[in-house]
């Protein structure tokens, strides 16, 4: 709402046939207060409808006047508004618990599959193409429409689709497990976010809320991210900032937070461990230090943006070159099997957590090879372009951490420190988000380096060429 000029002298404000004369000095503050109350009321009016409050009973709903003479009326309005907020926050808790439990199952099985694959890589990796054929067959037989994955979630979030089929949940879980079992280079966060969005949106459509918009979808996205990575603060802001770059969906902030906290606690209680590493190395915030941080941010931003650009074009090129999805996944699967096995017998298979551990173990300059980040970059794009299932974020973590180690040697900085910065910043630049990577860096590596994460992630965000791995992400 744009700012209005204030006339000298006095000004008359009309509300419910009541006229008040307000001094000029107090008008800007009062106008801002009234605007804030009206915005809050409009946002949460839909939440209090199930409590029996209608627009006719409460005039503040849907743009009504907010000025009342009676103190009791003001208290009643505030109670009604905040009761809706509390109600949505309360609903987020069971949603988070349900989504967190599913993510715990998915995450623990995925980690066990990765460990089993690493022990039997020679036996399993030749069958990657067959697994790809099974995935395509399953989606074409039972999951028509759900194969769009995150694009479907974004369409529902933007109001272009009404629902997500619950069949997406078992299909995406099974196909991702299969991709990782036979050596595909892919992630897991997209799966968790899709699971959360599907479950929460399904629940929200069956609760008596009038026009909640995309709030339940965002609650589920936050819960899925938090349930898998156990970073509830980053998950909350990721969900509310990812649909539209440059705009926050504040209406979902509180319920997304409660759902994220509940999901993180639930998955932890069910045995899914949180990955965290205390990074004590740092960088002085003097002129040379700021210059090095800026260089890191530029590099991480360009790599993350390039990943998003290359992924989109690789999918288009693969579909144009091999339009039959069976032929595409089989041919590319055979090639990937040979390449992944030839490159150090599966070093770049799966999530890339081996590269993350190597980059952060205190001996990263020896354990990480200069080309690790580039090969993981290419092979992840090839795996996803072929039609295999999984996310992009954990490979992005490994790409950023590996690249950070390489840049640390060039800039004369601690390897684990640069790896942690790359872990967060490449994720942020590839997803075109700003606050989520800052918070995930702090939640995983410690809040002591918050200023450094902030600087590097801001620079990376500015230099990512406005690209995103989410093709349907809109711009504010």
Q: What is the pLDDT of residues 336-388, one digit of tens each?
A: 999 999 999 999 999 999 999 999 998 888 899 999 999 999 999 999 999 99
Q: What is the pLDDT of residue 66?
A: 45
Read off the pLDDT band of 57 (50, 70, 90).
Answer: very low
Read off the pLDDT band of 61 (50, 70, 90).
Answer: very low
Q: What is the pLDDT of residue 69?
A: 61
CA distance between the termini of the chain? 16
Q: CA–CA distance from 173 to each of 5, 97, 181, 278, 286 (Å)?
A: 56, 18, 12, 31, 47
Residue 447, pLDDT > 90, answer yes
What's the distance, CA 296 to chain centroid?
22
Q: Which of 157, 9, 173 shows the shortest CA–CA distance to 105?
A: 173
Q: Which of 186, 140, 145 shows the shortest CA–CA distance to 162?
A: 145
CB 84 within 8 A of CB 147: no
Name residues whose C-beta falls within 8 Å of residue 302's C-beta, 6 or more positions apart in sequence: 429, 463, 464, 465
Q: What is the pLDDT of residue 212?
A: 85
Query: What is the DSSP code string of 379-410?
Result: HHHHHHHHT----SHHHHHHHHHHHHHHHHHH
Give the integer Cα–Cα distance in Å for 430 and 453. Answer: 16
Q: CA–CA distance from 388 to each of 117, 131, 143, 153 (Å)?
A: 17, 9, 14, 18
Q: CA–CA distance from 151 to each of 373, 393, 474 (Å)?
A: 26, 16, 12
Q: Please state, for a pLDDT cut of 90, what percent of the chain lies above it.
A: 77
Give the integer Cα–Cα distance in Å for 469 and 431. Answer: 6
Residue 43, pLDDT > 50, answer no
Neighbours of 181 (CB within 10 A): 21
Query: What is the DSSP code string of 81-106?
Result: HHHHHHHHHHHHHHHHHHHHHHHHHH
Give the integer Cα–Cα distance in Å for 375 and 384. Answer: 14
Q: Which residues are registered as beta bridge partners of 21?
A: 12
């Amino acid at each position: 709402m744009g700012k209005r000029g204030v006339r000298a002298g006095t000004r008359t404000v009309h509300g419910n046939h009541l006229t008040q004369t307000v001094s000029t000095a107090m008008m800007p503050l009062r106008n801002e207060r009234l605007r804030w109350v009206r915005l809050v009321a409009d946002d949460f009016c839909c939440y209090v409808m199930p409590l029996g409050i209608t627009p006719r009973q409460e005039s503040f709903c849907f743009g009504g006047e907010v000025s009342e003479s009676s103190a009791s009326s003001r208290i009643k309005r505030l109670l009604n508004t905040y009761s809706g907020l509390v109600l949505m926050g309360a609903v987020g808790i069971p949603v988070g618990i349900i989504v967190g439990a599913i993510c715990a199952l998915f995450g623990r099985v995925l980690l066990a599959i990765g460990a089993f694959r690493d022990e039997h890589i020679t036996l399993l990796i030749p069958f990657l193409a067959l697994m790809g054929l099974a995935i395509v067959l399953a989606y074409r037989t039972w999951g028509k429409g759900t194969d769009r994955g995150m694009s479907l979630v974004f369409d529902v979030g933007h109001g272009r689709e009404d629902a997500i089929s619950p069949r997406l949940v078992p299909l995406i879980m099974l196909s991702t497990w299969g991709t990782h079992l036979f050596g595909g280079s892919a992630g897991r966060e997209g799966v968790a976010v899709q699971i959360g969005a599907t479950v929460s949106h399904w629940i929200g459509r069956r609760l008596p809320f009038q026009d909640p918009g995309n709030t339940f979808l965002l609650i589920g996205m936050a819960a899925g991210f938090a349930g898998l990575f156990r970073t509830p603060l980053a998950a909350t802001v990721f969900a509310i900032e990812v649909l539209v770059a440059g705009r926050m969906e504040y209406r979902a902030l509180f319920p997304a937070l409660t759902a994220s906290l509940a999901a993180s606690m639930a998955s932890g209680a069910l045995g899914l461990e949180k990955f965290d590493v205390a990074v004590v190395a740092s960088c002085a915030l003097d002129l040379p230090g700021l210059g090095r941080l800026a260089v890191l941010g530029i590099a991480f931003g360009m790599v993350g943006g390039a990943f998003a650009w290359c992924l989109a074009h690789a999918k288009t090129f693969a579909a144009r070159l091999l339009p039959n999805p069976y032929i595409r996944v089989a041919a590319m699967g055979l090639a990937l099997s040979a390449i992944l096995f030839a490159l150090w017998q599966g070093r770049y298979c799966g999530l890339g957590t081996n590269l993350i551990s190597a980059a952060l173990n205190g001996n990263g300059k020896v354990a990480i090879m200069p080309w690790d980040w580039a090969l993981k970059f290419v092979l992840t794009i090839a795996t996803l372009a072929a039609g295999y299932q999984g996310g992009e974020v954990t490979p992005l973590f490994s790409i950023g951490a590996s690249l950070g180690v390489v840049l640390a040697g060039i800039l004369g900085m601690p390897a684990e420190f640069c790896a942690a910065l790359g872990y967060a910043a490449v994720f942020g630049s590839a997803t075109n988000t700003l606050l989520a990577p800052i918070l995930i860096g702090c939640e995983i590596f410690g809040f002591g380096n918050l200023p450094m994460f902030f600087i590097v992630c801001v620079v990376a965000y500015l230099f990512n060429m406005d690209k995103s791995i989410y093709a349907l992400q809109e711009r504010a």
